[in-house]
Amino acid sequence: MTLNISNVKLYRENESERSIMRREQAREKENRLVRKIVTVVILSLVLIVTVLGIYIYKYWQSGLKPLNPKDDHLVQVNIPIGTSNKGIGNILEEQKIIKSGLVFTYYVKTENITDFKGGYYQMAPNMTLDEISEMLQQGGTEEPEALADARITIPEGYSVDQIAKEVASKTGLKEDEILNVITDEAFFKELLASYPQLLQSASEAQDVRFKLEGYLFPATYNYYKDKGVKPLIQAMVEQMNQVYIEREEMFNQSDLTVQQVLTLASLVEKEGVENEDRRNIAGVFLNRIAADMPLQSDISILYAMDKHKVHLSNKDTEIDSPYNLYINKGFGPGPFNNPSTDAIDAVLNPLENDYYYFLADITTHKVYFAETYEKHLELKEQYIDNLQ
């Protein structure tokens, strides 16, 4: 039998093409499989990252909250001098004060909270990270003390009346009992003897409602039932004295008495929120004092009225009181509340400006400054009147 060479050649060519097609099909099948595997891997990674992200977020949010909001049982915590923030976080977690030492460490880092001091502290699981941080900045005792009967936190800007109410709510005492101690003349003289530089100008002030208004530093304090209220009040004054000592040179350079600094600081505390605004507001008050203009702060009227109002009427600004800084020039009798270190620092280090007026949007807390009364009225119409 004779083979047809052309047929053989054609057969071989067809066989080669079929082989190529089979290889291409196998390669395509393999590629599809690879693509499926890659897709599955990518989706798995996305799922893992998402789940991990949600877990980290929930872990972070949980760690920011008190360990147990209902547990105010005090625990003695020792923070050795020189302990790192990470070490402090570990100690607090081990002592069951906070949920996570890791969250605490990163929280104080992101919030730029520093200057923690060593010592013995009395803390409770219902404390927030901010409260714990403030306590650590305030400093503990050198030796452990008996656990307190109550832990009292005085917020920044609280007045004497508000402090008395807060102390009463935590101790079971009556507000009048606490106010009687604060207004006790003999007790004030004891404090004056202990802190003469701090309280001298307060002792000379006239027409004040409370001589210790402005001098009860806002912080967290321990209350002991068997010791009574006096040690608690003295601890507040002692803490303000520490603030004064740390800034004594700045106080002396300000050409203002301690009473005057704390008076302006108490106004700045309520008038501004941001540090730059507070320093500018302090500058405005000092400009008005220098120009023999009344400070005209609404805070003074509210204190004189002894009530809270969002908007004051013209009649309100005419109230007959030495604390009315709408009609009385100068600093008035004394502080209107107990200011924070931020407000005090704003007065001791004000921004130099040419402003004589300012107003604040109570919703956004943004402060608007003006050099003239006409510009002030324009800002008032634009940012205050039109929003009411």
Amino acid 187: pLDDT: 97
The reported pLDDT for the residue numbered 286 is 97
At 151 the pLDDT is 87
Tell me the percentage of the chain whose pLDDT exceeds 70. 96
Q: pLDDT confidence of 5, banded at 50, 70, 90?
A: low
Q: 66-70, 74-78, 251-255, 314-318: which range is least confident on average? A: 314-318
Confidence (pLDDT) at 2: 52
For residue 281, the model assigns a pLDDT of: 96
Nearest to 92 by CA among 67, 65, 61: 67
pLDDT at 388: 54
Q: What is the pLDDT of residue 235?
A: 95
Report the percentage of the chain scoring pLDDT > 90: 68
Give 3-state DSSP helix, strand, coil % of the chain, rounded to 5. Answer: 55, 5, 40
From the CB of residue 297, how many other CB atoms can be counted at a distance below 10 Å?
A: 25
Q: Does the pLDDT of residue 185 top 90, yes or no? A: yes
Identify the pLDDT of residue 56. Answer: 81
* Region of 73 on the Ramachandran plot (φ > 0 left; ψ -120 to 50 alpha; else beta): beta
Per-domain residue ranges of the chain: 17-64, 75-138, 150-236, 259-384
Does residue 176 have a pLDDT over 90? yes
What pTM value is reported for the model? 0.78
Query: Tell me: the pLDDT tens digits for 18-60?
Result: 777 878 787 878 888 788 888 888 888 888 888 878 878 887 8
DSSP H/E element including 52: helix 5-64
**In this predicted model, which residue has the larger pLDDT, 212 or 135?**
212
Residue 240's pLDDT band, with cuts at 50, 70 and 90, is very high
The CATH number that domain 75-138 falls under is 3.30.1490.480
Give the pLDDT confidence score for residue 93 in this predicted structure: 95
- Give the model's pLDDT for residue 101: 94
CA angle 27-32-38, nearest 5°? Answer: 125
> Which one has a higher pLDDT value, 275 or 387?
275
Q: How far apart are CA 238 and CA 240, in angstroms?
A: 5
Per-residue pLDDT of 265-304, as tens digits, reads 999 999 988 999 999 999 999 999 999 999 999 999 999 9
The mean pLDDT value of the chain amounts to 90
What pLDDT, on the 0 to 100 scale, is given for residue 118? 94
Return the SS3 of 75. Answer: strand
